[in-house]
Structure 1
């Protein structure tokens, strides 16, 4: 039996069950919940020696993922948290990263991004120093790339972090939408960002103390 434990907290039954099925097929031990109290009761029992993490929906009807994260900290549930967010939830995702989330993924989940996030989350407990060294090197490279953006590219990039539309960014910068799209494309290419959510993660990490 694989000792790597994945918890899923998401109110969407179909999504939760299909994701659990996928992860079990990948060899993980999976517990999935649609209600936060039950999930917290299960997670609090996880021993410190067992690699485990939580896939957490950022938007749920009764409680937000951010509030669940607060409850985890109050109850000293020390698990890496991977937030899952639908398109348009960039501001909440930013708040999640500031709260201490390991990372966040956009729905529908891409298999390779999910696997990479889980590898990182589960290896933190057993290879913390090695991962930290790799992350420091990657962060230094990201900061270097951010500094190399032109002023306009940087302004557009931070507009994306603020969840501004291209039209609003154009209005604030007094340029055309097409010019914004050009700067956006160049910024994402220079930052090696796969999509807007990835760019947000990179910039938040670069700006963190």
Structure 2
């Protein structure tokens, strides 16, 4: 019996996987912006902060470093802390799905229905399988797979996350700019107090 296509085509699946990867890149850039803004709200040392951010290899490491900087920055901004916690948790959750898409492949599956019709389905399978054992035999497992619709839903969540990160960083910037002049003046006074001024050496007695 001829096989009938079902759901997304291979082209559709490759397209949504590529879109998801692209939108995830925007999430990482915004996490970088969050780290830079937390470390240096003036922007004077933003290049150095961004360079340090990308030296951390794993996304979890980058995110945890950013979280630590954010917690320090928001010590006097309790009204923003809950919002950041929400964004942080969402980024962790979505990063796990992103890892699936970064380590897998598009596959064509064929199924023989009870009616005798063979249908095909295009799915995305990570290279590791999430085994859900149904009995004593460990070979009886249900491999992890993602449909095109699930990936589209993932893209929507990432897009919402990028939007919320942008709004949060804008609100944080407003708070930082309000208190920045006072902080800079305080730090400048502190820096001046630590400067060691050269002392004038005693004059040698003149020779008659």
Higher relative contact order (CA 8 A, sep 6+): 2
Richer in helix (by share)? 2
The TM-score with structure 2 as length reference comes to: 0.24
The TM-score with structure 1 as length reference comes to: 0.24
